[in-house]
Amino acid sequence: MVKITIDHEKCEGANCAECVDVCPMEVLIIDGEIIAISDVDECSLCEVCMDVCPNGAVTVEED
């Protein structure tokens, strides 16, 4: 199981969306103004979203 956490206090949401752009599995999506998780089971734990996030707002971990 994978657990993805987005800290919406730190996240710039749709104004940034860099994690959405880089996610190869399209797990992270834009939902209105915020970043949402579509299907956590598709996550490959590549951690690219964590690497690209300028604010350290997204965390992906094995649960």
Please report, as ranges, the residues that interact with ligand SF4 according to CB under 6 A.
4, 6, 11-13, 16-19, 22-25, 27-28, 35, 43-49, 52-53, 55, 57-58, 60
Measure Cα distances from 8 to 36, 44, 55 in Å. 10, 22, 10
Distance, in Å, from the CA atom of 37 to the CA atom of 34, rounded to the nearest integer, reads 10
Closest separation between CB of residue 11 and ligand SF4, Å? 3
Q: Is residue 62 a contact partner of residue 16, using CB atoms and an 8 Å limit?
A: no
Least separation in angstroms between residue 33's CB and ligand SF4 is 10
Shortest distance (Å) from residue 50 CB to ligand SF4: 7
